[in-house]
Structure 1
Amino acid sequence: MMKILFPTDFSKAAETAFFYALQMTMKLEAELVLVHVYELPDLGRALHNTSKEVYEIMEMETLENFKKSVNELREKATQKGFSNIEFKHLMAEGQIVPRIVNIAKEEEADFIVMGTTGATGLKEVFLGSVASGVIDNAPCNVLSIPQEVSLQDTIKKVAYLTNYKDEEVVSFNEVYRFAKYFNATTCSIHFEKEVDDLSEKEMQAWKNKLIVDTTNLNSYVITGNNFEEAICQLYAEKNIDILAIQPRKRNFFTQVFKKSLSKQIVQRLKIPLFTLPAK
């Protein structure tokens, strides 16, 4: 059975991701694990003698708030029609990103589903947020869900961003299988400043290596000097619901998104991001 790890801080953005995780749990017939990681503040030398007692009080308050928040999520899940989905819950203290990554390893999670926040959601994914840290270090697939994603939004098309590299073949096949759980189609996207005959040959050679039926596989090549504008236009035109990426290095993301994103672009990029373990 697959296992989905859902890290949460019980914010509005996390709640949106929670309902997405519930949908995935149902579709994949998976096990859902909710985890809340918290960090205790450094009280410093001034409170050295009483720090243990203070920490114990803070941890008790955190535990009580955790239990209350979990019960509220259970009630909301029931209201949305997910009363039949059970999930276990964990609470852990420590640095947020390392603890989430370690718990994912301990639980042998297949997916991590987590939220991103507000108008800067996608930008934060790439530029240093908790989601970015998890993406960089996760041992499994990560789905980052913008707060604006609606529970009613169905997954009909998943796009895989490729450079036509051999190592991306396995990743694409995995994304393709994921899409099939939702009866969704899969397409590929490649970015070039200019398209030439070599690009077309590379695309066809790469498609021939895939172990899936490529008869109806749409492959889009986007061009121009502005990646953000080109990818946004493609989202709008092709009704893409999820963007899937196989990151190699952290600077791959910062290079692609090195320019600041305008408000319009950020709003148009509010779709889930599927990242496979970084290589």
Structure 2
Amino acid sequence: MIKILFPTDYSATADNAFVYAMQICKNYSGELFVLHSYSSKSNVPKISENAELGDPSDLFKEEINRMLQLAIENDFGQVPLKFFMEEGELVQSILDLVSKEAIKLIVMGTTGNSGFENKILGSKTAGVIKNVDIPVLSIPHMCKFEEIDAVGFTTVYDEEDALVLRKMIPYIQAANADIYCFHVNKGKEVKTHEEIIRWKEQFKHDPVFFVEKKQDNIVKGIFDFIDQHSIDMLSCVTRNKSLFQRVFESSIAEKLSYHKRIPLLTFHENMFK
């Protein structure tokens, strides 16, 4: 049984991701760990317009009941749920729970603005992706779960990418979907043509297809790829000191996370060390 962690701030964005996470658990016989992390120095968010700020534990109990009802309303009453409330910084709370419970995947809601629903998840998703070395699936506010037919995977043809693909393939096959490996060629290839051919050869018997585009603008290249191949989910490996740093600091990863319909699955490079 796969264990999935879902951090929540009780917002509509989080509720949307909660439903998505329950669908994954239902499809893969998973168990969902729901985490609310709060700071004693900040106010606990209201659960409803009529709710008064008070003891966090009382609000947490009320929220558990609401989320259990949300699960039933969406026909996920059979999904195993465990609820945790932790005082402290979100990333550290996640790291502690991941270690204690052997969590394999984190599902988080993301927003693309600094509005009232961006108090925790919108601003903290980036921190989780960069500091927690297990896969993180970020769900944009407008994204609804649909059957996955095509998964996009951005690659630079290295060994880490190959390891990720090997881990992904069984799940993608179970969903009767295909993986489209996408590479942006900016005219400065690190790998030789022969190395790239050898890299691709190891997946010749798998549902993996390769798409390459010569493009100076990485953002435009990726979004064109998503549209042209009807990608339902985008995935990539983070690289703290190289590609991921350039991509993330230029807000590309953030923009992809906030795409209105495409969830982003990120694999941390340290998970292979």
| TM-score normalised according to structure 1 size | 0.81
Alignment match, 1:245: 236
Alignment match, 1:85: 79
Alignment match, 1:133: 127
- Aligned letter for 1:192? N
Q: CA, structure 1 residues 267+143, in 2 after alignment: closer, same or farther (shift >3 Å)?
A: closer
Q: CA, structure 1 residues 277+257, in 2 after alignment: closer, same or farther (shift >3 Å)?
A: closer
Aligned pairs for 1:153-192 (under 5 A) are: 153-192=146-185
Q: Could you say what the CA RMSD is over the residues aligned between the two structures, in angstroms? A: 2.9
Alignment match, 2:268: 277
Identify the match of residue 60 of structure 2 among 66, 85, 89: 66
Identify the match of residue 100 of structure 1 among 94, 100, 112: 94
Rounded Cα–Cα distance in structure 2 between residues aligned with 1:67 and 1:147: 25
Unaligned runs of at least 5 residues, structure 1: 44-57
Rounded Cα–Cα distance in structure 2 between residues aligned with 1:7 and 1:258: 24
**What is the percent sequence identity of the aligned residues?**
30
Q: CA, structure 1 residues 181+17, in 2 after alignment: closer, same or farther (shift >3 Å)?
A: farther
Q: CA, structure 1 residues 257+32, in 2 after alignment: closer, same or farther (shift >3 Å)?
A: closer
Alignment match, 2:33: 33
CA contact (8 A) 2:256 2:264 kept: no
Bigger helix fraction: 1
Query: Residue 129 of structure 1: SS of its match in structure 2?
Result: helix
CA distances 1:12-32 after superposition (whole Å, capped 9, x unpaired): 111111111101101111111
Query: Residue 218 of structure 1: SS of its match in structure 2?
Result: strand
Rounded Cα–Cα distance in structure 2 between residues aligned with 1:220 and 1:6: 32
Q: CA, structure 1 residues 257+120, in 2 after alignment: closer, same or farther (shift >3 Å)?
A: farther
| TM-score normalised according to structure 2 size | 0.82
Query: Residue 240 of structure 1: SS of its match in structure 2?
Result: coil
Rounded Cα–Cα distance in structure 2 between residues aligned with 1:248 and 1:202: 20
Q: CA, structure 1 residues 92+142, in 2 after alignment: closer, same or farther (shift >3 Å)?
A: same
CA contact (8 A) 2:180 2:209 kept: yes
Instruction: State the shift of 1:257 in Å.
Output: 4.8
CA contact (8 A) 1:14 1:115 kept: yes
Query: Residue 228 of structure 1: SS of its match in structure 2?
Result: helix
Unaligned runs of at least 5 residues, structure 2: 44-51
Alignment match, 2:48: none
Q: CA, structure 1 residues 229+111, in 2 after alignment: closer, same or farther (shift >3 Å)?
A: same
Report which of the two structures shows the higher radius of gyration computed on alpha carbons.
1
